[in-house]
Structure 1
Amino acid sequence: MLTIFRAFFGMLCMLKTLDIALRADDLIGMLPALAASLIWFAAAVALTLGCRYRIAAAVILAISVILPIVTAFQWYNQHLYLIASICLILVVNEYVPTLLRAQLSIVYGFAAITKLNESFLSGTEIYNSAVQRTFWTTFINVDPPVWALIGVSVFAIVVELFLAVAFWLPRLRWVALLIGLCFQIGMLVLMTGGALSLVRLAVFGFLMIALYLPFFQKELDTMLPKIQHRWPLLRRLDSPSAAA
Structure 2
Amino acid sequence: MENKVAIVTGASRGIGKQIALQLASEGYNLVISYQSNDEKAKQVQLECETYNVKVNIYKGDLSIEENCKSLIDLAVTSFGKIDLLVNNAGAIKDNLILKMTSEDFMSVITTNLLSTFNCSKYASKIMVKQRYGSIINMSSVSGVFGNAGQANYASAKAGIVGLTKTLAKELGKRNIRVNAIAPGFISTDMTNKFTDDMVKEIEKQIPLSKIGSVDDIAKTVSFLANSAYITGQVIVVDGGLSL
Confirm or deny a common fold (TM above 0.5). no
Between structure 1 and structure 2, the one with the greater Rg is: 1
Considering Cα pairs closer than 8 Å and 6+ residues apart, tell me whether 1 or 2 has the greater RCO. 1
Could you say which structure has the higher helix fraction? 1
Q: TM-score, normalised by structure 2?
A: 0.29
